[in-house]
Structure 1
């Protein structure tokens, strides 16, 4: 669809259709984000604050800024503004029930356990995985690690800190709250995670559409409500790459509005609501 460059949204900053198209191309090429034309008003409202922060008069100026050397941090501000870091402890509870009932019995005999939380946001998902594993695995299972990645360095700093408003922890089972969450000294409305949880988790910055500097294999991958920002082609390539990083029998957990599709379907069987399990003999190998 070709848009007239002269048409601009009314508002504080000039934002033509040509500006939107340039921004959409950048978002897709660097981050895999799919921005439909219908999202133009949303993009304007999300990014207007970045223009104010940088003292810019138009989106054309903002695009020129993003193109400069040394503006990698602003490009991350861009992707942070265009996505939503909505998460909670034990969100989509059925995934953690499957982790406990279907995967943990197999992990109990392993010396090495590896889980990946891809798109971990502010850390609640990774800490929920850690609580589930610590509660369910035999005490002797020591080599248990969770890799938690996100593209946003600011949200990762919050995740590493492991501090949350007490009201946000109401979805944590009471026995888990008593065991692994404690009040923050001097901050009555805040709680923090026990060091035992943090010791299991490695938080790292990662753009999912770029190279992955690790080998796996993982016993389970959680990537929930991330692929919704990608177009179908990017989603299908992501599912393929996840398959390559999972061991045979490993689990893939995705978001409630997401569905596995494309060639990777041959690698998985359905194992529950938005839950997939890698077949012992996956489909034909494909480039990752």
Structure 2
């Protein structure tokens, strides 16, 4: 007869009391705009238990103290990483990139060749596949686009994923299933450091992109406009009021006719922002001023 399984205390989730959950949820909302409804209490407990143990803390009350302590900035970033999911891939939601390639980029390329300033923002760029896909699309339309005033800003709130994005190193399986016609022969190559199963994005692709840490719910550190903004699968973490505020910021940064691409499960209603109109599947266009 088998002996009963003994579950040791360190193998079970720590108890997340309601008071601890409420405090953590308030911090996540205040600092990052994350909306943690009561139904997510079990999820929060599961994801944070490992972090609490790794820090050698006895309970979530101690963890709350750390989140509000003198080194709170570092730990709040760890909190953000634990509570959000960085799922992305090259040319994710391919219809967005087809629309960019066929209907938007040709005009932007023409204007860039004439000397105009062209800017695209990948807001919530995660580990970099999105801005690199935008850059690859631009280079497909004009291999010499790097000689113009065409730039892509790629930002995320999480410094850890930004580090991966800037490194531009990806596993071979991360481009499995992506049509090779979307890449030029020189766009990707095996890791020069000799690691097998890894590839790197070419320097002319990387040169189009500037990376930076930006919190979308804070005051944005720039006033210049963007011709196109990608912000996909970011607003799903916000409550409606925060979403409306972010949509307003984007609308203010877009020129008349500028485009905003959002995630497949996200929507912008007229009541959320009257300056943006539907222009395709999860694509919005800045209305002309009256």
* Alpha-carbon displacement from aligned partner over 1:97-130 (angstroms, at most 9, x marks no partner): 1111121122133222100000000000000000
* Aligned residue in 1 for 2:73: 72
1:183 is the counterpart of 2:194: no
* Aligned residue in 1 for 2:279: 271
Give the one of 120, 126, 130 matched to 2:125: 120
- State the aligned residue count: 273
Check conservation: 2:266, 2:282, Cα contact below 8 A.
yes
Local SS of the residue matching 1:221: strand
> In the superposition, relative to structure 1, how do residues 177 and 53 fare at CA in structure 2: closer, same or farther (>3 Å)?
farther
* Aligned residue in 2 for 1:168: 174
* Aligned residue in 2 for 1:159: 165
* Aligned residue in 2 for 1:131: 136
Check conservation: 1:104, 1:137, Cα contact below 8 A.
no
1:170 Cα shift? 2.5
Local SS of the residue matching 1:81: helix
* Aligned residue in 1 for 2:152: 146
Structure 2 Cα separation of the partners of residues 58 and 138 of structure 1: 55
Query: What is the Cα-based RMSD across aligned positions, in Å?
Result: 1.6
> In the superposition, relative to structure 1, how do residues 177 and 166 fare at CA in structure 2: closer, same or farther (>3 Å)?
farther
* Aligned residue in 1 for 2:267: 259
- Output the TM-score relative to the length of structure 1: 0.91
Note the residue ranges of structure 2 that are not aligned, 5 or more in a row: 1-10
* Alpha-carbon displacement from aligned partner over 1:121-151 (angstroms, at most 9, x marks no partner): 0000000000001111373661111000001
1:13 Cα shift? 1.9
Alignment of 1:1-288 (within 5 A): 11-110=12-111, 111-137=116-142, 139=144, 142-175=148-181, 176=183, 178-185=185-192, 186-261=194-269, 263-281=271-289
- Output the TM-score relative to the length of structure 2: 0.90
* Aligned residue in 2 for 1:7: none
* Alpha-carbon displacement from aligned partner over 1:12-45 (angstroms, at most 9, x marks no partner): 4231011101111111111100001111111011
Local SS of the residue matching 1:248: coil
1:225 Cα shift? 0.2
Check conservation: 1:216, 1:246, Cα contact below 8 A.
no
1:79 Cα shift? 0.6
Check conservation: 1:108, 1:138, Cα contact below 8 A.
no
Check conservation: 2:90, 2:129, Cα contact below 8 A.
yes
> In the superposition, relative to structure 1, how do residues 264 and 101 fare at CA in structure 2: closer, same or farther (>3 Å)?
farther
1:61 Cα shift? 0.6
Check conservation: 1:243, 1:264, Cα contact below 8 A.
no
Check conservation: 1:14, 1:57, Cα contact below 8 A.
no
Check conservation: 2:13, 2:45, Cα contact below 8 A.
no
Local SS of the residue matching 1:69: coil
